[in-house]
Amino acid sequence: MDEKFIHYPMVIGGDRVSTGSQDLIDPATGKVFATVALGTKADVDRAVAAAKQAQVGWGELTYGERSAAIMKFADALESHAEELAMLESKNAGKATKLTINGDIPFSVDNFRYFASICRRQEGAAAGEYIGGYTSMLRREPVGVVGAITPWNYPMNMAAWKIAPAIAAGNAIVLKPAPNTPITTIRMAEIALEAGLPEGLINIVTGGAEVGEAICTHPDVNMVSFTGSTRTGKRVAELASPMIKRVTLELGGKAPFVVFADADLEAAAQGAVVGAYVNSGQDCTAAARIYVQNEVYDQFLSRLVELSKQVKVGNPFDEDTDIGPLSSLAHLNKVRGYVEEARQQGIEVITCGEVPSEGFYFPPTILVNPPQKANCVQEEIFGPVVTIQKFSTEAEAIELANDTPYGLAASVWTLNVQKAMRMAKAIQAGAVWINDHIPIGSEMPHGGFKQSGIGKDLSHYALEEYTIVKHVAFDVTGDRRKPWHFTTFGKAD
Ligand code: NAD
């Protein structure tokens, strides 16, 4: 281990564990700034055993006790907000504007939200649904949850998994993305300091090997995954032989549909935020803009103007809008898509300058590509947006739905009836009208089609982390039930 750098260990049970070591690269400089433990299958085994043990006592707490403990943890996280925001910006290259005002407070709010709603579980009233029986429903914890998260919103994605999982009475073993583990590790450390039980939240670092060990461990009853559709398919495959519960929050390629009757200035501003926020590394980013013929030229010229005003730079500068991409490999992938588009004869508008060192990429507009081009069909996951024309509402619906994804979409129009028709017709887990990207703890997030299965956030997420059980009481003692084959005598 290089002593120059801070080293981040895993959190397993109540211990800090450093099995191996790997470098963490600062995306703003391309240089090593810290090291992190590198977990193995044996660490997963140990973490799952710790979680299994912790879950027993945790699952026995009353809802009120569990809620109070999570609220206390949320307060502790909030008191570390500045530290967490700085770490997230350093590790993932995210502008502090975003981590201070978005990622960290939103994560704290997630914990408070799930701590609140776990006290009010949804279910049918106990009653007589079968003659002679009283039925009730229980929502049982799943047990040990395995979670795997991506690098684009490291702390948010971890909070979206941990908060509902523990609020529902489960314990968790979470693997963050290999290059952005720091805030997830700090969260687990803060949880211990705030008094949450040892083993309730375990963090094992590493890549596919650790992820696969989580997905196949016999004592992991559910796998909650966020990442690419390609890896999601592998996770589903690994989890299926043991019929583990699976939720998959996967890729997206959100359409952004602008009708001629929209407030064009609001739409252009919304497109700039929606397309470039977090350097476009957002599963709901406005990746495909479709504009009605009549206003296409006007909209494009305003989009270019506004895109040139986006400040790309050091994540720690107050006026920076977007920082670098999160890794060199990802920068090369984004570059590759833009280069391919250029070679296909698609017009590329590059907006603005970027710093020379680090993994920066400028806001980029790909003009009028064919609908079947890779840049329209596949996730680029950078500050790169395509723009195309449409003529009718029916054509807009067809284009919007024409990718394998279905995570999010937005529609821009001042016609309420049209907005309602579009909201119904678009196949996506979220449709925003006259905005793009707003998200809250109370509202479900999750995909249609190959964008995934299940929901994060909202009470639907809490349900994902519980199993419904029907309990039926015979309230008569009468053994002569009409459907019995034989009768062994009367109860009296
Ligand atoms: P990725 O699929 O490459 O990796 C995600 C996680 O899976 C990482 O922790 C990775 O180490 C792990 N992993 C890799 N191979 C594995 C395997 N064989 N078994 C188990 N785990 C494995 O995704 P990424 O590049 O880190 O993240 C970007 C992707 O995440 C994009 O596609 C984006 O759309 C998606 N995403 C989706 C949502 C959502 O809510 N739908 C949110 C954020 C990001």
Domain CATH number, residue 105: 3.40.605.10
**Is residue 207 scored above 50 in pLDDT?**
yes
**How far does residue 257's CA lie from ligand 1's centre (Å)?**
27
Same domain, 246 and 264: no
Catalytic residues: 249, 283
Distance separating alpha carbons of residues 372 and 310, to the nearest angstrom: 29
Same domain, 122 and 192: yes
Question: CA of 291: how far to CAs of 209, 294, 386, 401, in Å?
Answer: 44, 8, 11, 15
Q: What is the 3-state secondary structure (H, E, C) of 156-184?
A: HHHHHHHHHHHHCCCEEEEECCCCCCHHH
Q: Whose CA is nearest to atom 18 of ligand 1?
A: 208
**How far does residue 225's CA lie from ligand 1's centre (Å)?**
7
Same domain, 417 and 382: yes
Same domain, 217 and 147: yes
Distance separating alpha carbons of residues 478 and 492, to the nearest angstrom: 8
Distance separating alpha carbons of residues 463 and 164, to the nearest angstrom: 9
Q: What's the mean per-residue pLDDT of the chain?
A: 96
Q: Is residue 482 part of a domain?
A: no
Q: Whose CA is nearest to atom 40 of ligand 1?
A: 249
Q: Whose CA is nearest to atom 35 of ligand 1?
A: 227
**φ, ψ (nearest 5 deg) of residue 420:** -65, -40
Residue range 314-373, pLDDT digits in tens? 999 999 999 999 999 999 999 999 999 999 999 999 998 899 999 999 999 999 999 999
Residue 373, Cβ density class (10 Å: 0-12 exposed, 13-18 middle, ≥19 buried): middle
Q: Which atom of ligand 1 is nearest to the CA of 238?
A: 19
Same domain, 244 and 279: no
**Is residue 247 scored above 60 in pLDDT?**
yes
Q: Is residue 477 part of a domain?
A: no
Taking a C-beta distance cutoff of 8 angstroms, is the pair 465, 145 a contact?
yes
Q: Whose CA is nearest to atom 21 of ligand 1?
A: 211
Same domain, 237 and 261: no
Q: Is residue 487 part of a domain?
A: no
Same domain, 200 and 277: no
Question: CA of 391: how far to CAs of 27, 292, 302, 316, 396, in Å?
Answer: 42, 5, 20, 43, 8
Substitution site in 157, 279, 283, 458 for ligand 1 pocket (most atoms within 8 Å of beta carbon):
283
What sign does the CA torsion over 191, 197, 199, 201 have?
A: negative
Same domain, 84 and 184: yes
Q: Whose CA is nearest to atom 42 of ligand 1?
A: 283
Substitution site in 94, 103, 110, 148 for ligand 1 pocket (most atoms within 8 Å of beta carbon):
148
Q: Which atom of ligand 1 is nearest to the CA of 151?
A: 26
Q: Is residue 155 part of a domain?
A: yes
Contacts for 245 with CB less than 8 Å, ≥ 6 apart: 142, 221, 222, 223, 239, 464, 467
**Is residue 245 scored above 60 in pLDDT?**
yes
Same domain, 68 and 181: yes
**How far does residue 430's CA lie from ligand 1's centre (Å)?**
20
Pocket (CB within 6 angstroms of ligand 1): 148-153, 157, 175, 177-178, 207-208, 211-212, 215, 226-228, 231, 234-235, 249-252, 283, 379, 381, 407, 445, 447, 452, 456
Same domain, 96 and 226: yes
pLDDT at 492 (0 to 100) = 47
How many domains does the chain contain in total? 2
Q: Return the minimum-mean-pLDDT range out of 59-63, 82-86, 477-481.
A: 477-481
Q: Is residue 478 part of a domain?
A: no
Same domain, 307 and 409: yes
What integer is the mean pLDDT of 41-58?
Answer: 98
Q: Is residue 476 part of a domain?
A: no
Model confidence, pTM? 0.96
Q: Is residue 444 part of a domain?
A: no
**Is residue 121 scored above 70 in pLDDT?**
yes
The model's confidence at residue 123, banded by pLDDT at 50, 70 and 90, is: confident
Residue range 257-312, pLDDT digits in tens? 999 999 999 999 999 999 999 999 999 999 999 999 999 999 999 999 999 999 99
Q: Is residue 103 part of a domain?
A: yes
Same domain, 235 and 334: no
**φ, ψ (nearest 5 deg) of residue 354:** -130, 155
Q: Which atom of ligand 1 is nearest to the CA of 234?
A: 18
**How far does residue 226's CA lie from ligand 1's centre (Å)?**
5
Domain with 379 in it: what CATH number? 3.40.309.10
- Domain, as residue range, for 225: 6-250+451-471
Maximum CA extent, the chain = 89
Q: Which atom of ligand 1 is nearest to the CA of 447?
A: 41
Q: Whose CA is nearest to atom 9 of ligand 1?
A: 177
